Amino acid sequence: MFSKKEEFRTAFTVEQCESCNKESKRKFKDGDYVFKEISSQCDSCKGKLRISKIFGEVIPK
């Protein structure tokens, strides 16, 4: 059952490089959605980054 108390959920965004498939996780920002192209480049190969998934995580207090 869904519980409203004591849980703090944070959303994360996973960016994936289209060239080398390297993934990096960061905090979700407004406007993020799956398959969105990111304006920044891959750290390793300067390839194009795209959001591969967005998920929520429960952070223990």
Q: Enumerate residues 6+ apart whose C-beta is below 8 A from 59.
A: 8, 9, 10
4 three-state secondary structure? coil
Smallest distance from the beta carbon of 5 to Zn ion, in angstroms? 42
Q: How far is the CB of 24 from Zn ion (least distance, A)?
A: 10
Nearer to Zn ion, 10 or 19 (CB): 19
Q: Which residues bind Zn ion (CB under 5 A)?
A: 17, 19-20, 22, 42, 44-45, 47
Nearest to Zn ion of 11, 45 (CB atom): 45
Count Cα atoms within 13 angstroms, Cβ side, for 34: 5
